[in-house]
Structure 1
Amino acid sequence: MRDDTPRSGGERLLLVSTNYAPEQAGIGPYATQIAEHFAAERGAEVHVLAGMPHYPAWRVDPAYRGKWRVRDERAGVLVHRRRHSVPARQTAARRALYEASILAHGLLAPPRISRPDAVLAQVPSLAGGVLAGRLARRYGVPYVPVVQDLMGAAAEQSGISGGGRAASAASAVERRMLRGATLVGIIHETFRARVRALGVPEDRIRLVPNWSHVSGPSVPREKTRARLGWPPGQTVLLHSGNMGLKQGLEVLVETARHAPELRVVLMGEGSQRARLAELAAGVPNIEFLPPADTEDFPDVLAAADALVVTQRAAVLDMSVPSKLTSYFAAGRPVIASVAAGGGTAQEIQRSDAGRLVPPEDPAALATAARELAADPAAADAIGARGAGYARDHLSREAGLARVTALLDEALALAGRPVRKGRDA
């Protein structure tokens, strides 16, 4: 299993992540920045085993359609892509086929590389975690998964047909996948108890929070609003990111219907986008936008009056949506229509950068938006607290330093040499 490209004799790392650049939403940007950081700052030879770009649209990127295996080199990282199924509609059976196809192709055609020093994984992909663990055992090197979400808990609460059986199966796989890790990273404290319940000892769990992977806005809000056609006097609520079942975005359609003076904008892709557009037919104050370009994304977020996170009432989500760190960096107040006690609610309370309202309650969401619109100075202050929180606690440098420390500790536990950065 050797790569046919000569490399230096330094550190070699393998990261397994189904999602990777050019995907701009979800865990893809985090996986990308971790790999590129290790390549640039440690001078490591970094390989990534990834799927074909497909998220959040759940459609394979046109540049990769019809291909079984692709090897890209991006920013000094070798990315080995393997074909897999991509379900346009989410059911337990289709999700299982998605995971099984990732696992099968990864096992049949793993990257042809020399022995790495460690194997890391981005979870919730069950297949990615299993692949990473098996490759680490094959090579006899540390295995370090970072838990971004847990599929067992997500399937349990998803409302997807067959979710109960899927939850049990996913939890069983997660138990085996995590118990064999050298160390397990979790992105939020809300995962700790669940990971312990899956059989991981407390002394092998490390907190490695996500960071804000976008920069702050660079263009005046008024200029961006004019370009987007958002009138100066209209209050704009923006939801950015995946439009899936878990988000319960129907509440925003009903909010627009309930409060015609508000402009509700849904920006992104996802399995529920077409259905949401059907529900919104005849509602003049709701707008659907494609995902913004990377360069434009911070300015579009900052142009809104409030940024919205939603979840279905049945979901007590332990994870923190990747969009939340971007929302904070944009410097606008956040309205979180989520269950109390979850990771999102805790971050809103910790940052004091938004308002919490009950999930699936359009009247409460509209009331929070009206209150923010009635006091622009207070809304600006709330947004400024979010930007400060992102700057002080969610910087890219701090986040990558925590992941680096996790890797270094795993290498040390395995008795392998710890590499320092190029400038050390």
Structure 2
Amino acid sequence: MPNTPHLRILIVSLNFAPEETATGMYTGEMAKWLAKRGHHVDAIAGLPHYPEWKVRPDYKGKGLWKEALDGVTVFRTPHTVPSGSGVSAKQRILMELSFSFSSLYWWARILFSRKRYDVVIAICPPLQTAVMPTLYRFIRRVPWVLHVQDFQVDAALRLGMLTLGKLDRLLFALENFFLRRATRVSSITPSMCRRANEKGADTGRTWLSPNWADIAQITPTDPNNSFRKELGASPDDVLVMYAGAIATKQGLDVLLDAAHEMKDDGRFHFVIVGNGSDRERLEARATELGLPRLRFLDLQPRARLGEMLGAADIHLVIQKREAADLVMPSKLTNILAAGRPAIATAEQGTALWDALEDGGCGICTPPGDSAALAEAMRSLGNDASSREAKGLKARAYAEDNLDQDRILQAFEQKLLTLAGRDSNATS
């Protein structure tokens, strides 16, 4: 990158590459992109475990160690991982605390090292990643960015995973404290940025930094591909796909209920692709409901992502009302890049509604309303011309708004300005 200063950047994130979904995927891709641009990038990161909630076999039992990954030096940090079919809020908190305490090994060396970083990026969740960057700024005067992928505490309370007891009040207070103390706060949608402002982040210190899609690798394809054929769906069938994490905040029971309402329509085939803490329960419930044309598949290899997304006629983006605008489903960016229409359970005024309804890329139905979801699937499934039109708009939206290079170049420019390395740019 000619004539552009190089930065020393530290990223702190529990989730990181080689995780292939959600926060771990985006943080790993950000680090790789910045390293490729010539910046020196280090990362304090946890063990790859999501969405299966099992540490990958090649990362088990290694303790604290350094790894070179895509031009990034990764300081791997061991931590607990919840086990069992369900993951409670308290189990998550214990995992995050164990990561934070283990990472002190690396921070003890970083705090007083002769070399200092130019900027630190703390990825939230978990909230605890903000603790040491705050101290590092106090000791070494290094600016830091709190990048919010998910307002985890708010979502947990709304979903009933936490009750507003002493611990939860403490978490709220800490979240507001770090949002006020961060040199800059960034988040992935305008509504999440507004939420950060409501919690104490100054509007002048808040950045909008959206998630992206690999629009060069994920492109519209012929839906009658090998992935579709493996599922037993013919060109005349309507294949409806949910691909993503399977956990409490998704609320996938509404999909099972809608599929049950449509079970007499032999044209519709359903597939749920992914892993997570709620999958075992959902599989058992699907069996009880007797859904012969609904299948569960494990998370697919990255190499098959474009083919998998292209195989579906309709994609689903399911989340509970309580999680609206506290999280932004990462699956949406790739759906749009693949040029496929989506149906989301979202209300007017949310980021999902803005992308799909206002952008003409899909349909939104009320969260938790299985009858409305079934009706939307029937309507879109029976109108091939509407699916094609919405798919074209989806791809156009991705090209205009989700290009990785464009988004990360803007983020890089802000980092340069924050570090005082580009006086001509604005922060």
TM exceeds 0.5?
A: yes
**Which AA in structure 1 matches 2:240?**
L
- 2:338 maps to which residue? 330
Q: Is 1:152–1:166's contact at 8 Å kept on the other side of the alignment?
A: no
Q: 2:276 aligns with which of 263, 270, 273?
A: 270
Q: Say which SS state the counterpart of residue 221 (structure 1) adopts.
A: coil
Q: 1:237 aligns with which of 236, 240, 263?
A: 240
Q: 1:250 to 1:202 in 2, by over 3 A?
A: same
Aligned: 1:96 with 2:99 = no
Q: Is 1:311–1:359's contact at 8 Å kept on the other side of the alignment?
A: yes
Q: Say which SS state the counterpart of residue 275 (structure 1) adopts.
A: helix
TM-superposed CA distance for 1:66, in Å, is: 2.1
Q: 1:163 to 1:369 in 2, by over 3 A?
A: farther
Deviates more, 1:286-295 or 1:135-144: 135-144
Q: Is 2:209–2:411's contact at 8 Å kept on the other side of the alignment?
A: yes
- 1:341 maps to which residue? 349
Deviates more, 1:80-89 or 1:167-176: 167-176
Equivalent-residue separation in structure 2 for 1:84 and 1:21 (angstroms): 16
1:222-233 equivalences under 5 Å are 222-224=224-226, 225-233=228-236
- 2:255 maps to which residue? 252
Deviations 1:344-392 (A, max 9, x none): 2222234210000111122211111111121101111101101110011
Equivalent-residue separation in structure 2 for 1:165 and 1:383 (angstroms): 48
Deviations 1:213-264 (A, max 9, x none): 4632475321231133322222111111110100000111112211113222
Equivalent-residue separation in structure 2 for 1:34 and 1:127 (angstroms): 20
Equivalent-residue separation in structure 2 for 1:165 and 1:388 (angstroms): 48
**Which AA in structure 2 matches 1:272?**
D
Q: Give the number of equivalent residue pairs.
A: 407
Q: 1:68 to 1:358 in 2, by over 3 A?
A: same
Q: Is 2:187–2:193's contact at 8 Å kept on the other side of the alignment?
A: yes
Q: Say which SS state the counterpart of residue 284 (structure 1) adopts.
A: coil
Q: 1:167 to 1:155 in 2, by over 3 A?
A: farther
Q: Is 2:162–2:168's contact at 8 Å kept on the other side of the alignment?
A: no
- 2:176 maps to which residue? 175
Percent identity of equivalent pairs:
34
Aligned: 1:283 with 2:291 = yes
Q: 1:163 to 1:83 in 2, by over 3 A?
A: farther
Equivalent-residue separation in structure 1 for 2:355 and 2:167 (angstroms): 29
TM-superposed CA distance for 1:209, in Å, is: 1.4
Q: Say which SS state the counterpart of residue 296 (structure 1) adopts.
A: helix
Q: Is 2:81–2:95's contact at 8 Å kept on the other side of the alignment?
A: yes
1:43-122 equivalences under 5 Å are 43-88=38-83, 89-110=86-107, 112=109, 114-122=115-123
1:125-274 equivalences under 5 Å are 125-162=126-163, 167-213=168-214, 215-217=217-219, 220-224=222-226, 225-260=228-263, 261=265, 262-274=268-280
Equivalent-residue separation in structure 1 for 2:135 and 2:242 (angstroms): 38
- 2:35 maps to which residue? 39
Q: Is 2:188–2:210's contact at 8 Å kept on the other side of the alignment?
A: yes
Q: Say which SS state the counterpart of residue 419 (structure 2) adopts.
A: helix
Deviates more, 1:205-214 or 1:179-188: 205-214
- 2:22 maps to which residue? 26
Q: 1:354 to 1:10 in 2, by over 3 A?
A: closer
Deviates more, 1:152-161 or 1:285-294: 152-161
TM-superposed CA distance for 1:182, in Å, is: 1.3
**Which AA in structure 1 matches 2:104?**
L
TM-superposed CA distance for 1:339, in Å, is: 3.4
**Which AA in structure 1 matches 2:272?**
L
**Which AA in structure 1 matches 2:134?**
G
Equivalent-residue separation in structure 1 for 2:284 and 2:162 (angstroms): 21
TM-score (norm 2): 0.90
Structure 1 vs Structure 2 CA RMSD: 2.1
Q: Is 1:333–1:379's contact at 8 Å kept on the other side of the alignment?
A: yes
- 1:4 maps to which residue? none
Equivalent-residue separation in structure 1 for 2:220 and 2:205 (angstroms): 41
TM-superposed CA distance for 1:343, in Å, is: 2.2
- 2:396 maps to which residue? 388
Equivalent-residue separation in structure 2 for 1:301 and 1:363 (angstroms): 25
- 1:6 maps to which residue? none
Q: Say which SS state the counterpart of residue 27 (structure 1) adopts.
A: helix
Q: 1:58 to 1:419 in 2, by over 3 A?
A: farther
Q: 2:328 aligns with which of 320, 323, 332?
A: 320
Q: Say which SS state the counterpart of residue 322 (structure 2) adopts.
A: coil
Equivalent-residue separation in structure 1 for 2:213 and 2:423 (angstroms): 26
Deviates more, 1:157-166 or 1:72-81: 157-166
Deviates more, 1:108-117 or 1:377-386: 108-117
- 1:304 maps to which residue? 312
TM-superposed CA distance for 1:139, in Å, is: 2.9
TM-superposed CA distance for 1:340, in Å, is: 3.2
Q: 1:301 to 1:195 in 2, by over 3 A?
A: same
Q: Is 1:353–1:382's contact at 8 Å kept on the other side of the alignment?
A: yes
1:403-414 equivalences under 5 Å are 403-412=411-420
Q: Is 1:185–1:205's contact at 8 Å kept on the other side of the alignment?
A: yes
Q: Is 1:188–1:318's contact at 8 Å kept on the other side of the alignment?
A: no
TM-score (norm 1): 0.90
Q: 1:251 to 1:164 in 2, by over 3 A?
A: farther
